[in-house]
Amino acid sequence: MRICAIETSCDETAVAIIEDGKTVLSNVVSSQINVHQAFGGVIPEVASRIHVENISLVLKEALSEAKMNLDEVDAFAITHGPGLVGSLHVGLITAKTLAWYTQKPLIPVHHITGHIYANNFVSELSYPMLALVVSGGHTELVYLKEEFNFEILGSTQDDAIGEAYDKVARVMGLSYPGGPVIDRLAKSGEAHYKLPKIKTQNPFDFSFSGLKSAVLQLVHKQTEDLNHEDLAYAFQEAAVGELMLKTRLALDTYPVKHFVLAGGVAANSRLRELVLGLNEEYPDIQITIPPLWCCTDNAAMIGAVAYIAYKHGVQADLSLSANPGLDYA
């Protein structure tokens, strides 16, 4: 089954053709990052406009890379939430138009489930599975008792981890997006600054606003020049440490066969290192991290999960609408 997947939930216009949820026939992503960098964040109206500019080119490129005609596509998959409503609309109209014109099924996808099932490109997934989802909009521990069955064990009570990185980067006068910059600086940093411990009510929940405030205080209080490398190190160790702490707790509490990392922040080098390190502590649990190309938003992952969703009977009609605050569990 060849699925043409479309993803426009934020600032990437992406189309991919995926065969049987596993084989990437094409994966085209047109990023707007350079435009939004100038504003220090994504401007929704600008993002929607650029999606309209790019959509036909990206579609054509995805089909030609896969050496396919439109009528050889078996189904169309679309991210219908969560995300920016204006951006979601462009992809949604595209997918609905194509599904109608070709009279093929339309498969609605929750963006985060795409990130989780991106790991399907790396290895066969087994259940029960635990996923640590880390991105600019999400930070959560998701338990999948069986295939395509999602239960959120805990989530962030304030900022998402990616958001926290962006905010800290801004406070430190670094560029947007904050994740890669802080990750790079932290590599040459040392333990020097002390940041407070994080507390949450639900043991599986996360919180990052306290860390952000602590960094802000340090920046404001400091009379001599702050050591950026050391501050980045302190923040990264604290933030990533919080993720690992809650992950371990979940792995100790639930019968997990497979643990996967998911989302944009899965590209963080320190987090990848620590997650792979879990192997020694939990030798019976299979551990998978997504390939770097699949951490940023793309449509390949949407095609991967759409195949699973379709097997589970998920299909939408042409009245499908964008849902910026869509839930999946």
Partner 1 sequence: MITLGIDTSFHYLTLVLFDEEHVLASVQKEAFKKQSELVLVEIEQLFISAGLTPTALEAIVVTDGPGSYTGLRIGLTIAKVLGSLAHIKIYTLSSLHVLAGIEKDIHVLLDARAKRAYYAHYQQGNVVEEEQILPIEQLAKHISFDDQLIGDGALIDRETFYPDYTEHFIQLKDKWILVEDIDALVPRYLKTNEAYQP
Nearer Cβ to Zn ion, position 89 or 138? Answer: 138
217's contact among Zn ion, partner 1, none, with CB below 5 to 8 A by partner kind, is none
Residue 68, helix vs strand vs coil? coil
Confirm if 95 and 13 have CB atoms less than 8 A apart: no
**How many Cβ atoms sit within 10 Å of the Cβ of residue 328?**
15
Q: Please give the C-alpha separations between residue 271 and each of 15, 58, 117, 122, 159, in angstroms, as whole numbers.
A: 28, 32, 19, 18, 18
Site track 92-111 with partner 1 (rule: CB under 8 A), x = hit:
xxx-xxx-xxxx--------
Out of 52, 216, 226, 274, point to the residue binding partner 1 (CB under 8 A).
52
DSSP state of 316: B
Smaller CB separation from Zn ion, 135 or 207: 135
CB 153 within 8 A of CB 250: yes
Quick one: what does residue 60 bind among Zn ion, partner 1, none, with the CB cut-off 5 to 8 Å set by partner type? Answer: partner 1
From 36, 89, 258, 272, residue interacting with partner 1 (rule: CB under 8 A): 89
- The stretch among 52-60, 138-146, 285-293, 296-304 that binds partner 1 (CB under 8 A) is 52-60
Give the residue with the Cβ less far from partner 1, 18 or 90.
90
Using CA atoms, how far apart are residues 234 and 240, in angstroms rounded to an integer?
10
Whether the CB-CB separation of 8 and 51 falls below 8 Å is answered with yes
Check residue 12 for interaction with Zn ion (CB under 5 A).
no
Q: Which residues contact 241 (CB under 8 A, 6 or more apart)?
A: none
Q: Quick check: 67 binds partner 1 (CB under 8 A)?
A: no
- Picked from Zn ion, partner 1, none, the partner binding residue 297 (CB below 5 to 8 A depending on kind) is Zn ion
- Asked whether the beta carbons of 52 and 12 are under 8 A apart, the reply is no
Closer to partner 1 at the Cβ: 55 or 186? 55
Query: Which of residues 198 and 265 has its CB atom nearest to Zn ion in the complex?
Result: 265
Can residue 45 be called a binding residue for partner 1 (CB under 8 A)?
A: yes
Q: Rule CB under 5 A: choose which of 96, 186, 297, 303 binds Zn ion.
A: 297
Of the candidate spans 115-123, 183-191, 294-302, 311-319, the one that interacts with partner 1 by CB under 8 A turns out to be: 311-319
Could you identify the residue written with the tokens 């930070």? 139
CA-to-CA separations, 149 to 39, 68, 103, in angstroms, rounded: 38, 33, 29
- Output the smallest distance, CB 34 to partner 1, in A: 19
Question: Can you tell me the distance from the alpha carbon of 75 to that of 61, in angstroms, rounded to the nearest whole number?
Answer: 18
| Cβ-based nearer residue to partner 1, 285 or 320 | 320
Cβ distance to partner 1 smaller for residue 53 or 230: 53
What kind and span of H or E run contains 98? helix 85-102
**How far apart (Å, rounded) are the C-alpha atoms in residues 175 and 179?**
10
Stretch that binds Zn ion, among 129-137, 191-199, 265-273, 305-313 (CB under 5 A): 129-137
Helix H or strand E encompassing 258: strand 258-262
Measured from the CB atom, the residue of 72 and 124 that comes closer to partner 1 is 72
Q: Which residue has the tokens 């065969």?
A: 19
Amino acid at site 97: T
Count of residues touching Zn ion (by CB under 5 A) = 2
Q: Using CB under 8 A as the criterion, what x/- string covers residues 159-198 for binding partner 1?
A: ----------------------------------------
Q: Which residues have C-beta within 8 Å of that of residue 172, sequence separation ≥ 6?
A: 182, 215, 219, 226, 228, 231, 232
Footprint on this chain of Zn ion (rule: CB under 5 A): 135, 297
Q: Under the rule (CB under 8 A), what is the footprint of partner 1?
A: 45, 48-49, 52-53, 55-57, 59-60, 63, 70, 86, 89-90, 92-94, 96-98, 100-103, 317-322
